Amino acid sequence: MALEVRSRSILRFGVFEVDVREGELRKQGVRIKLQEQPFHVLTVLLQRPGEVVNREDLRSENWPADTFVDFDNSLNTAIKQVAGGAGRFCR
């Protein structure tokens, strides 16, 4: 699936559009609700098309170094929310 950059704040992939400035994921103009952390994970992945983004990259981009969380669980939950949020609208 190709990534199209409309402006610095709009990223398009397939029928989806991410407005980084507004913090919104949309499918054909319909807003898909995502919590803040999953949205940030998605934007990191979209901003690096064709690259392998490892867990450490995602940690450093999304969780401050002085934050103490169960990173693996938090990242897994964020990925599930991204996949589940978009998946509900793929039919």
The tens digit of pLDDT for each residue in 51-88 reads: 999 888 888 887 777 767 677 888 888 888 888 765 55
Domain boundaries, the chain: 3-87
Q: What is the 3-state secondary structure (H, E, C) of the chain?
A: CCEEECCCCEEEECCEEEECCCCEEEECCEEECCCHHHHHHHHHHHCCCCCCCCHHHHHHHHCCCCCCCCHHHHHHHHHHHHHHHHHCCCC
Which fold, 3-87? Arc Repressor Mutant, subunit A (1.10.10)
Return the pLDDT at 7: 55
Q: Work out the percent of the chain whose per-residue pLDDT is above 70.
A: 80
